Structure 1
């Protein structure tokens, strides 16, 4: 208990020492209007081992502060304060430490008054209607983006389904199916221009020559002449001749038999006919195409007539 009483007396002595002038707080005015600034100055009669903590304020605000100045044997720090609410506000006691001992400044009262307005001298204006803000690009950019996206989609569809399709149709090759006889003659002339047998490509020449003749028979008579063997093709044509469904002569059928068998010998037995024989086979191929045709179908009305 005696120890606590001793501490109390020591604290009172410290405060008394502070009040004796070790630390001091002053303001340049005790009355301000809202927003006005005033100065707080804290002085310490010591220059060594002095600590000035951050100000503790209620209702007032620090606008600025200066660095600690040393004048003779004292330390001085100044603060610029202001208030934005009307009323009476205390700057509470500030605790200053000097050589590890605490000293308290005096508390200070500051009155913050409102600014009086003389309404009789204030010019009055009529109440104005609400005005709309002017339009800016940001107000319309979402619609612009939607429009551009829609145009891009429409453009893509037009290109994909109209322009591209039309271009493919224009660029694509156009073919006209020739009648069997015209196609065969055209291909025979193309074969002559290739000069295959003249360049020792006799096998290739006979393969293409018989393919042209077989293709003509298949298209004209509507039989699988390209897939069947030589004997099968000749057998079909003999049956057609006996049934009187084709318009040809026995000489034409004999030339066809000779041509197909000669081609088989060249392709499978490596036979090498003479140039004169090759030219003769070429003439026979054209005669076969010209003289082998189906008989026209006679309608019943035509028979009655």
Structure 2
């Protein structure tokens, strides 16, 4: 009898301990499931949220939710499991699911089970069950189903017309280049022509030609007539470019008259030097006069002097900068007066 009573007491104590332990565990672990709303239209999407609140310690195995719940609810997306720290040693594990349904009527969502592990012991806890009701859109039977609405006319943006705009500009550019190339080809001109060089000032041309005459030493090699012809041709070209006088087609007298009575203004010294050069050259070319060496040298020196005295310099910015560092003087002419012989051909 005593043994029987003892066994009954032990059984009662164990049962009481289990009840207490279950109550404590129920307070420590809370699992729940929630929906954004419990009623939707066909094809609407809502969130199913699973939460497990517990103390730090037990290892939790989250349930593996398939791509469908029951026969009608579809799982579209799922988020990673998120751990949220709460007060004290409490934490919350959370996961969201995006779901939808295309069958009307009520659709139950059964409880979801979580597995727990305490050292060598295992247990499980589940959420509450839910119900999702899917409604069919209401149709006015008198009016019947409405037509599909036409798309709205959105304003055209620059991003949409930019390809067409740039494409049109490119096509116009290609057409312009083709027309330009055809016209250049008909005129037998190169497709791309370099811009012409600026015209050289008359005084530079004259001084360069006088330098060439000086270097060639024509009169020293008995080319006296050519020497004077080259000098006078150079001066005549200079007069045309500098004073706009058609000197190449005029006689010496006509040139001097044009320079004296036209709008050209020459100082007395320059006028006299030019006249002496042209008249001496006429004697050499037409009267077979052979000048002395002094005459040959002075003629070239006077030609240099006449050009330098009457020139109009056209200076570029670079030349103006160089002119600040250099002194521009008249070219020095060295005249050899060693032999002053002159003779006339009979």
TM-score, length-scaled by structure 1: 0.38
What TM-score do the two structures reach when normalised by structure 2?
0.35
Structure index of larger Rg = 1
